[in-house]
Amino acid sequence: MKRAIYPGSFDPITLGHEDLIKRAAATVDELIVAVLVNPAKNPLFSVDERVKMIKEVTGKIPNVRVESFDGLLADFARKENAQFIVRGLRMVTDFESEMQMAQTNHVLNENIDTIFFVTSLKYSYLSSTTVRETAAFGGDYSKFVSPEVYAWVERRMRDLKS
């Protein structure tokens, strides 16, 4: 059983993330999308909201499971019996930190290998930060996220303004 973890903040999940999830799910038996519980960050959405949102947009992919984790990713991978971590590379600027993370995770858990997917060209500019900033300043971010996620972000922006 080939099991991979796709970890991230997903605040919120973008079309770039969704594209990677589809491609990664097609290469392994099970893909766990894992939302990091990171108390140091001040997120737009709670971890529970992000898990719910990801479940909404990945519900049709049978071999995708959505979880949250805290602590070390290497420990979560051990607990889940996963052999792979999946990450996307958008630009060359991602490379340095991703290499460091992959090597650290391999030292912390030698059963783990990181698989990199090159982000599809049409999403290579995209990040959750882009979505949050565009939405906060009233720009059109409908091309950045799926309709379900768009509704979540619209609601949150309305709540923040009221």
The contact set with ligand PNS (CB under 6 A) reads 7-9, 36, 72-74, 101, 104-105
Min separation Cβ 162 and ligand PNS, Å: 29
Q: What minimum distance in Å lies between the beta carbon of 73 and ligand PNS?
A: 4
Alpha carbon distance 57, 59 (integer Å): 6
Specify the residue, 7 or 25, whose C-beta has the smaller distance to ligand PNS. 7
Instruction: Give the Cα separation of 31 and 24 in Å (integer).
Output: 7
CA–CA distance, 36 with 119 (Å, rounded to integer): 21
106 a catalytic residue: no
- Is 90 labeled as catalytic in the residue annotation? yes
Per the annotation, the verdict on 87 as an active-site residue is: no
Residue 63 is given by DSSP the state T
| Active-site residue, selected from the candidate residues 50, 87, 90, 132 | 90
Q: Is 128 a catalytic residue?
A: yes
For ligand PNS, the closer of residues 109 and 146 by Cβ is 109
Cβ–Cβ < 8 Å for 59, 156: no
Among candidate residues 41, 79, 122, 143, the one labeled active-site is 41
Locate the DSSP E strands across 20-161.
30-36, 64-69, 84-89, 113-118
Catalytically active residues are 17, 41, 90, 128
